[in-house]
Structure 1
Amino acid sequence: MRVFVATSATQGTRASDFTHCVDGELVWLRDVCPASRRRPDGPCECGRSFSGLSSNNYTTTALVREIPDLTRAEYEAALTASFDRQEWCLCCTSRSVEEFIDELMALAGVFPDGAVVERRVDNLAVRGSLGSGG
């Protein structure tokens, strides 16, 4: 399964870059707030970052990795566990865990294994590549 994981690769390309995640941890994309939608490099980071499932921290770069042994059920369980640790009310999010996983799998599937990507609100773009599997 192709997924996004945190990476410090290409950090510093933009002045607004940061990484507080653990390299290699699974990441997901939070919904973008109105303030970040207007100014992705402004004080709110949600329009330019990925969120770590384990650390609950953020990074502006993610690596696309093919993890052959990861199952959809394990991926859903990891996201659910992250939500539980953060005490997220799933009825208050815009989508279900299954819908988030569908979106993440579809987005990661667009990019080659080893691509380093950045987020700009609703768009993901390749910044570089670490080769197959990074």
Structure 2
Amino acid sequence: MMKVLVATGATQGARRGDYDHCVTGELVWMLEPCAESARNPGGKCGCGRSFSGMSSHRSTTTAVIRDVPGLTRSDYEAALRASFDAQGWCPCCCVQPVSEVVDELIAVAADWPEGAVIGRRLNVLSIRAQTHNRSNDAG
């Protein structure tokens, strides 16, 4: 099993600017904040406070840490690469290399306990809640 970040609606609405447009339980990653969001992560552009869904290509301000049975690093990388391909992003120069993004996501998830609901403000992640009920965020 591998711990990963997945979309969740848990704690949505607890903070001004919360939103959840992802599919609950889908794998998520973190887009590098644009200049506007870097200046004001709580502002109009939410890329500095959100997680991006690999399947829906939508975003959410909360993610939960889950151990996904049977998910391999290779599967994880293929999912992110497929997401980039579907959106027409060049995986070699539009963002950092896919393998590096996956390594960072694995490292981030490893630092949190299973069921931790995570929020983001630029490159700082913080725990918003601890859940134990997989039915709220399992895909």
Residue in 2 aligned with 1:114? 115
TM-score calculated relative to the size of structure 1: 0.96
Cα deviation digits, residues 88-132 of structure 1 (max 9, x gap) = 012333410100000000001000000000000010000001127
Work out the percentage of aligned pairs sharing the same amino acid. 54
- Consecutive unaligned residues of structure 1, counting only runs of 5 or more, are none
1:126 aligns with 2:135: no
Tell me if structure 1 keeps the 8 A contact 2:120–2:126: yes
Tell me if structure 1 keeps the 8 A contact 2:81–2:91: no
Q: Distance in 2 between matches of 1:33 and 1:41?
A: 13
Residue in 1 aligned with 2:32? 31
1:63 aligns with 2:42: no
Residue in 2 aligned with 1:20? 21
Q: Residue type of the partner of 1:9?
A: A
Residue in 2 aligned with 1:88? 89
Q: Residue type of the partner of 1:52?
A: G
Q: Distance in 2 between matches of 1:94 and 1:11?
A: 28
What RMSD in Å do the two structures reach over aligned CA positions?
Answer: 1.2
TM-score calculated relative to the size of structure 2: 0.93
Q: Distance in 2 between matches of 1:75 and 1:56?
A: 16
Superposed counterparts of 1:2-21, under 5 Å: 2-21=3-22
Tell me if structure 2 keeps the 8 A contact 1:113–1:132: no
Cα deviation digits, residues 19-76 of structure 1 (max 9, x gap) = 0000000000011111111100111111000000000000000010011310011000
User: How many residues matched?
Assistant: 134
Q: Residue type of the partner of 1:46?
A: C
Residue in 1 aligned with 2:52? 51
Q: Distance in 1 between matches of 2:46 and 2:21?
A: 12
- CA gap of 1:31–1:76, structure 2 versus 1, over 3 A, is same
Residue in 2 aligned with 1:100? 101
| Higher mean C-alpha deviation, range 111-120 or range 30-39 | 30-39
Q: Distance in 2 between matches of 1:51 and 1:36?
A: 15
